[in-house]
Amino acid sequence: MTRSACCAVAGAMLLAGLTGAASASDAAASNEVAAVHPDTVPPGQKGVAGKAIDAVKSVAKSASDIFNRVPCSTPRDVKLDAAALPHVARKIASGEHVTIIAFGSSSTASYGASTPAFQYPNRLAEQLRRRYPKADITVMNQGIGGEDTPEMMARLKTSVIEQKPDLVIWQLGTNTVVKGGDIDATLGLLEDGIRQLQAIGTDIVLVDPQYVPATTAKEADADKMVGIIGRAARVMKVGLFPRFAVMREWHNDQKLPFNDFVINDGLHMNDWGYACFAQLLGDTIIKSVDQVQAGAEVPSNVLTFRPM
C-alpha cells in the first residue's frame, strides 16, 4: 500500500469518526481507498472510493456549519430552567455510566434528517460527550414513526423500563393531533407512563408537539394537547421541554420561514431544526450537571422548562 493510500484511508476513518455520519456503505467504499489516492485520479474518474471520501468530507463540513446560516438562539420568551434532572446530573458529575433514552415517534427517530449525524439523539450525545469527555454516556434512540401514546405505552416496558435509563426524554402528542386521535385519553396514559418511570427512579423530560404547518392547521387540537402535556408535567413533577412554544418563537419572533426548520412535508424538522432542538436540550442538561458539580442542591419537583 502506498503512503498516499494509507493517508487517504486514515483521513476517511478520522472524518467518519468525528461526524458519526458515514453509512455502512460509505464505510465499505472507503476501504477501497487503499487502491489509489483520490487526488491522483483524473477528474470524473474518482470512482467509489473517491466519492466516499468526498461524501464524508461534505458531511463533516455541514455538521460544523449547520448554524452558520441561522444561529440557534436561546428563546427569549421561554425560561430554560435545568433544575429537574438531579439523578442524571449527579451520575454525569460523578463519572458513572449514564443511559439516556429518547422515546417517541418519528421526530425522535428524526425523520427528515439527512444523515444519522443530524438525528437529534446523536446530536445530543455528541454535545454531552464534548462537554464531559470523561463521562460514559449512552443515548439510545427509541423512536418509531407514526406512533401515538397508546402504541408507546404498549412498548414502554421493553423499549424503556427494561433498559434501566437514568433519563427518559419522552416526545409525544403530534400524531394524535395530526391524525385526529383521542386527545383527552392522552392525559391518563401519560400519567400512568410517568408513574412507571418514576418507580424505577429515572429522571423524565416530556417533549410536546412541534410547531409546524401540520399542527398549526389544527390549532385548537394542538393547543389542547400542549396543555395536557404541560398539565401532566406539573401534576407529576417532571421536566417539560415546550417544543411547541420554542418553535413558535422561531417562526413568529425570529421570523424564520417554516422551510428554514421543516422539510417539505410540513411536519418533520430538517437538519437545522433537529440540531437546534438538541442544542437547547443539551444546554439545559449541562446547566443541571453544572449545578450539581457546584454543590447546589437540585430539587426534584422543579420543572425543567417553565414559561415566563
Amino acid 81: pLDDT: 62
Q: Write down the pTM of the prediction.
A: 0.76
Amino acid 2: pLDDT: 44
Instruction: Find the domain containing 148 and state its range.
Output: 78-307
- Overall number of domains in the chain: 2
- Do 84 and 57 lie in a common domain? no
Nearest by Cα to 35 from 64, 7, 62, 1: 1
Neighbours of 295 (CB within 10 A): 6
- Do 165 and 200 lie in a common domain? yes
- Name the helix (H) or strand (E) containing 119: none
> DSSP 3-state assignment of 154?
helix
- Do 85 and 52 lie in a common domain? no
Residue that is last in its domain, among 39, 65, 91: 65
- Do 116 and 160 lie in a common domain? yes
- Do 234 and 156 lie in a common domain? yes
> CATH number, domain at 214?
3.40.50.1110
57, three cell numbers: 468530507
Residue 138 lies in a domain: yes
Residue that is last in its domain, among 14, 31, 65: 65
Residue that is last in its domain, among 65, 89, 111: 65
Residue 70 lies in a domain: no
- Do 41 and 167 lie in a common domain? no
CB 92 within 8 A of CB 132: yes
- Do 33 and 159 lie in a common domain? no
Q: pLDDT by residue for the chain (308 residues), tens digit each?
A: 544 444 443 443 333 333 333 333 333 333 322 333 334 344 455 565 555 445 444 444 455 577 776 789 888 877 656 556 888 888 887 889 999 999 999 999 999 999 999 999 999 999 999 999 988 999 999 999 999 999 999 999 999 999 999 999 999 999 999 999 999 999 999 999 999 999 999 999 999 999 999 999 999 999 999 999 999 999 999 989 999 999 999 999 999 999 999 999 999 999 999 999 999 988 888 887 787 677 744 444 444 443 32
- Do 122 and 35 lie in a common domain? no
Residue 233 lies in a domain: yes
